[in-house]
A and B are shown apart, each in its own frame.
Chain A
Amino acid sequence: MNAPEAVKPQTPPQPGPPLWLLAELTYRCPLHCVFCYNPVDFAHTPDELATEDWLRVLREARAAGSVQCGFSGGEPLLREDLEVLVAEAHKLGFYTNLLTSGVGFSDARARALKDAGLDHIQLSFQDSTRELNDFLSHTRTFELKQKVAATIKDKGWPMVMNCVIHRLNIDYIDRIIDMAVELGAEYLELANSQYYSWAMLNRDQLLPSRAQIERAERITHERRQRYGDRIRIFFVVPDYHETRPKKCMNGWGNVFLTVTPDGTALPCHTARMLPGLAFPNVRDMDVRRIWYESEGFNRYRGDGWMKEPCRSCPEKEKDLGGCRCQAFMLAGDPAAADPVCDKSPSHHKVVEAVERAERGEPAVVERPLVFRGPEESRRRKAGLLPPGG
């Protein structure tokens, strides 16, 4: 027992508003991406929220100060009420973003979304080569995406192209960047895969080598020089190759609020995996109370929850101990230091994964990739799988 700590108030600091609302409208998706962050047990998700529920969530979140609204999934175009929700969000003063694979984006829906006031579309591409793209997404969608990109530009939307980068496509990064420019994207996110959910199952096959990353960064830098203001390129560095963790979600319950298809409110996409935490549902609690009062959102706010080595670390404000999900997955404790940090006693687990990637061990190649899909999801019961198993 430690007297000074006992009297120290444990109330987390009062956060600002939930500026970012991510509405995950559905887990249904025509793609089967091997790096998807949707939960592996998504097929067990009970009923999706009804239109009226989402309209209420939008109004409550806006009243609580949310200003960016992302409609995501799964594939949000599979919700037939998408236009109704976008129209309401627009009317409320949100900046509305649609995060889509482009499947289901017909001319008619493009017109309806434009009329509803949609501000921006983020289109995801898996790769610039159709063969690899189709292999990675398990569908023949590449030509369709080119068509969708043309429609987006034609309607005058700004376009962010998003491409998840990993071992199997990182060597084509020059062609990915060139294609984004060709299609007229204003922004390109080269998001190195983060190892959660389906990506965690496939981690050994997806983790690039250090040499691959260095080459990709060099090429990205060259392309930035070449294209200048025509496109802004964001290269999201993979944290496994670092020695300090990322400031995950810019802080737990700090700016970001996700509502999942069944109405569960989460401080990040994957937080539902954390044990011993009850996350509220928008069917039972309004957004303001969820944000400011629920146990799920308060648990890892600030730094009062930290253990060593984080608690006494001079850098703790900088990264807030990293990612709670990664701490749970790799160190078995959501309150531990993120094992990406070389001060973490579990750092060797990250190092070992990177070393396997460096060696390109046969096991990496021989184990089949696990494609995201409802049958695979039903086969894998929640929580029973070891990381990468």
Chain B
Amino acid sequence: MSETATIGLDTTPRVSKRFRLQWEEAQQAWVLLYPEGMVRLNQSAGEILRRCDGARSVDEVVADLEQAFATTGLEADVLAFLELARKQQWIDL
């Protein structure tokens, strides 16, 4: 993972091997699990990360989200979140 690479629309992020993403019924939330810890994600963070499979590009993730939630203009929000996710080492590029 490069520290300096910028996240672009053709980047194909994946959830880092350091974490396991899963849906928790009891919490009604997506969570990231790691050794002895857990990050509880809000709905939008969960919906973005569950689409980061290393195959889909950011462009495709955005399109998929916009279709799933019948909306447009999510690109900037998704890119901003992915920057945060990278800082937290939740994703690899």
Point out residues on A near B: beta carbons under 8 Å.
16-17, 19, 64-65, 67-68, 70, 93, 95, 97, 119-120, 122, 158, 160, 186-187, 229
Contact = CB atoms under 8 A, between A and B. Distances in A.
Contact of B35 (A16, A120, A229): A120
Size band of the B side of the interface? 10 to 19
Given A95-B20, A158-B18, A119 B26 contact: no
B26 A97 contact: no
B28 to A, nearest CB: 10
B36 A65 contact: no
A120 B19 CA distance: 11
Interface of B: 18, 20, 22, 24-27, 31, 33-38, 89
A120 B24 contact: no
Contacts, number: 43
B36 A97 contact: yes
Given A97-B36, A158-B35, A65 B18 contact: no
Contacts of A160: 35-36
A136 B37 CA distance: 29
22 contacts: A16-B27, A17-B26, A17-B27, A64-B26, A65-B24, A65-B25, A65-B26, A65-B27, A67-B31, A67-B33, A68-B36, A68-B38, A97-B36, A119-B20, A119-B35, A120-B36, A122-B35, A158-B18, A158-B34, A186-B18, A187-B35, A229-B89
Interface centre among B18, B20, B31, B34 (most CB of A within 10 A): B34
Nearest to B25: A65
